[in-house]
């Protein structure tokens, strides 16, 4: 005989859980509504109990006068104008006062919280105790209240804030000693969260704070910034002194940005980005490109050749998207000569007491994604290293309004050339999962926070110059032509792209685009390396009236050449 299935109401627990939640919500709402009545009834009961206790404690000979006095008071109140109303209000006030909640507020941690603090205290004893200390602050079996000044717990009983003192002889100036303490606090306070440690060597105190996750739902958009300011991402509110209005879905909220300033007065004119595959380095380059196209021109070198920058091909302000060794060498040679031309034009204008020409003040951005891959391909073909051509823009780019951004993976960082290493050390970004030692090797300093357990794309650390290391979350800027891209992010990126300047047929066929800039021609009439052709100068223009034309090829991002 076949078994009959049980009714769905007995097997499906979702309606039961939903009904239980509704009942609990209704009970909480009813308790809030009837709370005044409960307070008044409790006060009346307490007043009645107190009156009965007072009546029983009164001697027999005094009860009659007391009844006469109470009756007289009731009679006066009844005959006086508004007497009954005032009497009722007095009784309700007395009942409310007598029925108030008199349970004492908790002044200290509970039993479970005290046990957690004591365990944390015992774990720190081997590191903060000394053999010759006559009055040790940390000792086995000691009291944690003497060492922990302030603490705070969340609803689950986990520590979210802790302020502790440590002895003066602890070597808080050594990174290894600090790392041991931070590791113990991280393990005992609960894994799966990010912690920030603030050491005060002068006061011998350490503050531990649980950090909120950085927002990952901020898409690419027009940020409210001044010319020369670029948003790398967003960080903690207490780390910066400025916020920007950011659209998150249908709402607009203020978020603290990590601003990178470029231009002639910048102390960090170039940027180096390192990360693991899938960490968001290419997304950061796309975000920088979309921001740079508002006020300048962009030249992109795609060493990976995966087509991540195909959406920028043929757009206004995009001088080229190269993914092959020959095209990269040609465009980087033009960029080096353009940097020199700008320097010469600016210097001559200053000598003549005139402002710099307009074409020298328009920013030029060179974005190189994985240039070490092109170095290997160029060596296989017997060509020059494309990284060598970045030396001139890196060295003189700040004065010539040329900004270089290099993105590379951690495993290929050792293949970066010396000019890239030397001139991009002032501003660096490390993305993806990385140990504190890896972050210190890239940024030159350790972060004051613990590594996050789950690293979303675009999550990492940034350091600009000698500033502290900041947590960083890059705005979501995916490839809009990728099928796995969310529709909201796709629309956000497409809305920021400039209009096309190259016909669709030429973009698909990979026709060459002539990049022409008026510049100073060679004195001896020879053709400089990387120049495809030098037009004849106009009559009377002198040595500076020529125009250098470089035949750079704008192709799809995964094309060769």
Binding residue numbers for ATP? 275-282
Write the DSSP string, 325-349: HHHHHHHHHHHHHHHHHHHHHHHHH
Residue 316: closest CA among 362, 269, 258, 281: 362
| End-to-end CA separation in angstroms for the chain | 76
Percent helix, percent strand, percent coil in the chain, to nearest 5 = 40, 20, 40
Residue 335: closest CA among 364, 292, 305, 370: 364
**Any alpha helices (H) in 34-172, and if so which ranges?**
35-57, 60-79, 83-98, 111-128
Q: CA-CA distance, 208 to 161, in Å (whole number)?
A: 6
Residues in the annotated binding site: 275-282
Q: CA-CA distance, 403 to 417, in Å (whole number)?
A: 17
Q: CA-CA distance, 497 to 494, in Å (whole number)?
A: 5
Q: CA-CA distance, 114 to 144, in Å (whole number)?
A: 9
Residue 540, number of CB atoms within 10 A of its CB: 6
Whether residue 470 contacts residue 258, with contact meaning beta carbons closer than 8 Å, is answered with yes
Q: CA-CA distance, 504 to 556, in Å (whole number)?
A: 11
Q: Residue count of the chain, please give it.
A: 561
Q: CA-CA distance, 503 to 516, in Å (whole number)?
A: 19
68-98: burial string, b at 16+ Cβ within 10 Å, e else: eeeeeeeeebeeeeeeeeebeeeeeeebeeb
Bridge partners of residue 367, in order along the sequence = 300, 405
Whether residue 43 contacts residue 99, with contact meaning beta carbons closer than 8 Å, is answered with yes
Please give the structure tokens belonging to residue 173.
């100036």
Bridge partners of residue 261, in order along the sequence = 229
Write the DSSP string, 484-537: TS-HHHHHHHHHHSPPB-S-HHHHHHT-EEEEEEE-PPPTT-PPPTT-SEEPPP
């Amino acid at each position: 005989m076949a078994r009959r299935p049980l009714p769905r109401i007995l097997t499906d627990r979702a309606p039961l859980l939903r009904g239980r939640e509704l009942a609990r919500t209704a009970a909480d709402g009813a308790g809030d509504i009837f709370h005044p009545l409960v307070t008044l009834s409790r006060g009346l009961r307490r007043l009645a109990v107190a009156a009965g206790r007072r009546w029983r404690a009164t001697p027999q000979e005094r009860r009659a006068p007391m009844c006469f006095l109470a009756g007289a008071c009731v009679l006066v109140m009844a005959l006086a104008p508004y007497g009954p109303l005032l009497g009722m209000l007095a009784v309700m006030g007395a009942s409310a006062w007598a029925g108030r909640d008199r349970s004492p507020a908790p002044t200290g941690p509970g039993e479970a919280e005290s046990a957690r603090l004591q365990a944390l205290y015992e774990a720190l004893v081997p590191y903060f105790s000394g053999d010759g200390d006559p009055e040790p602050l940390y000792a086995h079996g000691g009291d944690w209240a003497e060492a922990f000044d302030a603490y705070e717990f969340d609803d689950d009983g986990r520590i979210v804030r802790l302020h502790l003192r440590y002895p003066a002889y602890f070597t808080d100036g050594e990174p290894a000693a600090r790392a041991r303490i931070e590791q113990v606090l991280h393990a005992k306070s609960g894994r799966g969260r990010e912690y920030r440690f603030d050491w005060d060597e002068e006061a011998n105190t350490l503050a531990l704070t649980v950090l909120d996750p950085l927002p990952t739902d901020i898409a690419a958009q027009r940020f409210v910034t001044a010319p020369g300011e670029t948003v790398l991402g967003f960080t903690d509110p207490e780390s910066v002194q400025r916020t920007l209005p950011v659209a998150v879905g249908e709402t607009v909220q203020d978020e603290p940005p990590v601003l990178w300033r470029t231009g002639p007065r910048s102390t960090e004119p170039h940027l180096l980005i390192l990360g693991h595959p899938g960490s968001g380095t290419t997304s950061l380059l796309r975000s920088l490109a979309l921001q740079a196209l508002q006020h300048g021109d962009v030249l992109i070198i795609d060493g990976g050749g995966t087509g991540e920058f195909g959406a920028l091909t043929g757009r206004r302000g995009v001088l080229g998207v190269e993914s092959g060794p020959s095209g990269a060498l040609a465009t980087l040679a033009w960029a080096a000569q353009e940097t020199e031309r700008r320097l010469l034009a600016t210097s001559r204008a200053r000598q003549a007491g005139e402002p710099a020409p307009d074409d020298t003040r328009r920013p030029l951005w060179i974005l190189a994604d994985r240039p070490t891959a092109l170095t290997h391909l160029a060596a296989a073909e017997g060509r020059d290293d494309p990284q060598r051509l970045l030396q001139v823009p890196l060295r003189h780019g700040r004065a010539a309004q040329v900004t270089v951004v290099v993105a590379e993976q951690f495993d290929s960082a050792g293949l970066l050339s010396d000019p890239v290493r030397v001139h991009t050390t002032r501003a660096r970004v490390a993305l993806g999962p990385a140990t504190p030692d890896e972050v210190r090797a890239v940024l030159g300093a350790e972060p004051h926070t613990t590594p996050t357990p789950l690293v979303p794309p675009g999550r990492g650390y940034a350091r600009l110059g000698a500033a502290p290391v900041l947590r960083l979350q890059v705005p979501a800027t995916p490839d809009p032509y990728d099928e796995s891209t969310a529709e909201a992010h796709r629309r956000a990126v497409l809305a920021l792209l400039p209009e096309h300047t190259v016909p669709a047929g030429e973009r698909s066929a990979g026709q060459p685009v002539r990049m022409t800039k008026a510049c100073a021609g060679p004195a001896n009439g020879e053709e400089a390396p990387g120049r495809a052709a030098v037009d004849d100068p106009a009559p009377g223009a002198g040595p500076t009236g020529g125009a250098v034309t470089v035949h750079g090829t704008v192709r799809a991002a995964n094309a060769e050449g």
